[in-house]
Amino acid sequence: MQKCPKCGYEGSVNAPVCSNCGLSLAVEASTPETNERSAPQNADSSTTTIRIAGQEASRVGAAFWVLLSLFWIWFSEAPGAWALLLAPTLLGALWPLIRNPGMTSKLDLLEEKLQSKHQQAGAKTGKFAQYFTKPLFVGCLLIWRKTQPLADVHLRAGLRVAAIAYFAGVMVTLLLVVGYVIVVVVVVIAVLLFLLWLLGEALSRSTGSGQAAPAKHSTRSVNVDEYRSGYEEGKKAGPISQLGDAFFSVLDMGRPDYIRGYKDGHQDRTFDPYRKDE
């Protein structure tokens, strides 16, 4: 049986290409660089691994961590918060615990997608891409490269899943916090502007009403009396004097004492220009 260095599929010995992924086995077998690249992927089967009770140490450690996490969540005072906090580690523990080659190989192909997304984010010039998308994929690729030296491919895959999940969660939390702060600041500014507008309207109305009334009262109480005294001194008989009497009678209709007398039924008809003599 011949094993494919890319996907690990075991095919016939003389097969020119892999029937699973289509890789040319003749070219890959004759190239020494391909053998070096395939060595880390098969390191878990070629190198000596630590075993506990006949099982890989990573599998035993993953099982112990899952049991301990579930025990802690069950007996804690805030199980929801602890479940949310430990969820990435429980998800990452599935890879070394199950040790499925197909699931691990599919996760290894995620590196190409991360690089493609990073290039797309770098080509954009927006604020969101500059301060969120690009740092997110940069951090994910950094985690991917830092975990590359691990020989156990299943443990490496689980650590990548847990670390990337924690990093993405922190980035999303920061994004929500920044968005919440921006919304609060905008609402506070809008409320302050509205209150300032209401205060300005109230001050303008109070100032206008406070200045109009004294000016009108002073005009009617002082100026009318001065004009009346001057008119009485130079009063002459004839149509002009009758017109003057009518003018001052109209002014008297606006005086407070005249209005009170009219309401009480004691209207003074002395200066009424429309009165008809009986």
Q: How many domains does the chain have?
A: 2
250 part of a folded domain: yes
Say whether pLDDT at 4 is over 70. Answer: yes
Report whether 95 contacts 104 (CB < 8 A).
yes
The whole-number average pLDDT for the span 217-242 is: 52
How many CB atoms neighbour CB 214 within 10 A?
9
Residue of 54 and 229 predicted with greater confidence: 54
The whole-number average pLDDT for the span 129-150 is: 92
d(CA 183, CA 270) in angstroms, rounded, equals: 72
What does the pLDDT look like over 44-84, one tens digit per residue?
444 456 777 668 888 899 999 999 999 999 999 999 999 99
35 part of a folded domain: yes
245 part of a folded domain: yes
Q: Which domain holds residue 248?
A: 235-278
Given this model, what pLDDT does residue 201 score?
A: 86
Q: How many residues does the chain have?
A: 278
Residue of 240 and 94 predicted with greater confidence: 94
Given this model, what pLDDT does residue 271 score?
A: 46
128 part of a folded domain: no
Structure tokens at 152: 């156990």
Contacts of 228 (CB under 8 A, 6+ apart): 248
Q: Is the pTM of this model over 0.85?
A: no
Which helix (H) or strand (E) is 141 found in, with range? helix 134-146
Q: In which band, very low, low, confident or very high, does the pLDDT at 22 lie, cut at 50, 70 and 90? A: low
25 part of a folded domain: yes
Alpha carbon separation from 188 to 181, 185, 193, 201, 270 (Å, rounded)? 11, 5, 9, 20, 65
